[in-house]
Structures are given as C-alpha cells and as structure tokens.
Amino acid sequence: MALLADGCLERNAWICGDYVSSRLDEIMAALREHVGLTVSAVGYGTLIAAPLVLAARRRPALAAWISAATSALYTVPSLAFFAILLPFTGLSRTSVLIGLVAYTLVILFRGFLTGLGSVPPEVRAAAVGMGYGPARLLVTVELPLALPSIMAALRVATVSTIALTTVGATIGHGGLGDLIYDGLGSTFRAEVLTASVLCVALAVTADLLFVAAQWLLTPWRHGAHGAHTAHGAHRTHRTHGPRGG
C-alpha cells in the first residue's frame, strides 16, 4: 500500500497508482492501438493464407513453394522489414501492419494446410459419394474436422503478433510497446511495468478466448456429451442427407 500512496511518481516506484490515474487516456490509447494492430494483422493474414491453402491443395506442388516463401518472410528481422518498407509507406502504422501480416502467414498457412490435410480420405470419399460438391465438402465436412488445427494456428499467430507489435515502437506505432520503450528510455519504472503487465494480460486473454471459442465450436470433443452430440448429428445427417442419404 505504501507504493500506491501519494508520491510514488516522485520515488519512481515500479507500482504506482498515480501513474495509472494520471495517464489513463494515454494507456488506453496505446492498448487500443495494440489490439487494433493485432486483430488487423491476424485478420488480413487469414484472408491471405486461406486462398493460398486452397491453391496448395489444388496443386500440391505449390505447397512447398508457398511454405518456403512464407518462411523466408518470417526470417526477415523486423527492423530490416521496416527499413525496406520506409520508401513506400514511411514511418506509419501501415509499415507495422504489413510486417505483422507477413509474420503471421507462415503460422497460418502451415496450420490451415495441416488441419485440412488431417481429414481422413475415407470421410471425403463418403461425402463425395453422397453428392457433395467441392464447396459443400469444404464447408460442411473438411473445415469442421480441421477446426482444432485451424484454431491452434490462430492462437499461436495472435499471441505471437501481440508480442511482435511492441517492436513497432521503433517507428512510433507499437501500441503498448511505445510506453515500454519510452519508459526504458527515461527509466520510468511505472510506465515500463504497467505496459508490460498489460501486454502479458492481453496475450493471456486472447489465448483464453480462443480456447473458449474452440470449446464452443467443437462440442463433439467434450467426452460423453460430445459423443452424444456427434451421434445425433450423424443420425440427422443420414435422415436429411441428399436424396434421403
């Protein structure tokens, strides 16, 4: 409690309620930017990775080339990435976002491709035999079965992006990383600790949200209740399938 008392700013305490109350707007602005960059990066990464995965499945020879290209992007140091982008996008949020999207691709592409590749061939054959076209097969059969791998890829990509976003502080767009870098430069302990704790809390919260979403989207994996649900879904499918199944 002594650390939270008046004067903690003057003492440069690590834990300081005065800092949080006096800089709340600044902290919330940094948190919003951090969340916005993370959501945008993973969202755009998913939009790019999804068609790449579909192309790789249609032409398996492309899978190795796409995987190599995304891996090459991931190996580029963030500072070098920003330097390459400077002539085109400058010291802007766009530069940070492009870098973050590039870093998500290797995780999302491999995770999505692995998930779809894990669907048993006999399941695909059975669905095709029942008259399922490519689009219906993908949406109603393959994606649900690949969902655990897909969610795992999204979880890793999101948590990694939350961590990488802080590097954007080097060009002034790092969300909570801006506060960490500013605090380190001025030895402002409360700023460093508060921003670091928020960054960790954000990563943990995002991970828990994905765990909860996966639990809700895959009820058949929850033991006896899941088995009952899956059995009921199987009976419904046989009853209402194409031309009576």
| pLDDT band (50, 70, 90) for residue 135 | confident
pLDDT tops 60 at residue 197: yes
- Please state the pTM of the whole predicted model: 0.82
Query: Mean pLDDT, to the nearest integer, of 114-142?
Result: 87
pLDDT band at 16 (very low <50, low <70, confident <90, very high): confident
Asked whether residue 230 carries a pLDDT value surpassing 50, the answer given is no
Q: How confident is the model at residue 6 (pLDDT cuts 50, 70, 90)?
A: low
Q: Considering Cα of 118, then 124, then 125, then 126, what sign does the dihedral take?
A: positive
Please, which pLDDT band fits residue 219 given cuts at 50, 70 and 90? confident
Confidence of residue 225 (pLDDT cuts 50, 70, 90): very low
At 15, list the tokens.
């834990």
Whether 242 has a pLDDT exceeding 70, the answer reads: no
pLDDT of 1: 42
Lowest mean pLDDT across 130-134, 160-164, 194-198: 130-134
Contacts of 105 (CB under 8 A, 6+ apart): 45, 48, 49, 52, 70, 73, 74
pLDDT band of residue 5 (cuts 50, 70, 90) is very low
Q: What is the pLDDT of residue 2?
A: 44
For residue 203 the two structure tokens come to 């990563």
Average pLDDT value over all residues in the chain: 85
Least confident of 3-12, 116-125, 179-188: 3-12
| Domain boundaries, given as residue ranges, for the chain | 23-220
Q: What is the pLDDT of residue 220?
A: 73
The average pLDDT across 48-70 equals 92
State residue 119's pLDDT score: 87
CATH annotation of 23-220: 1.10.3720.10
The DSSP line for 190-241 is HHHHHHHHHHHHHHHHHHHHHHHHHHHH-GGGSTHHHHHHHHHHHHHHHHHS
* pLDDT band at 97; cut points 50, 70, 90: very high
Q: Helix axis angle, 24-58 relative to 176-186, nearest 10°?
A: 130
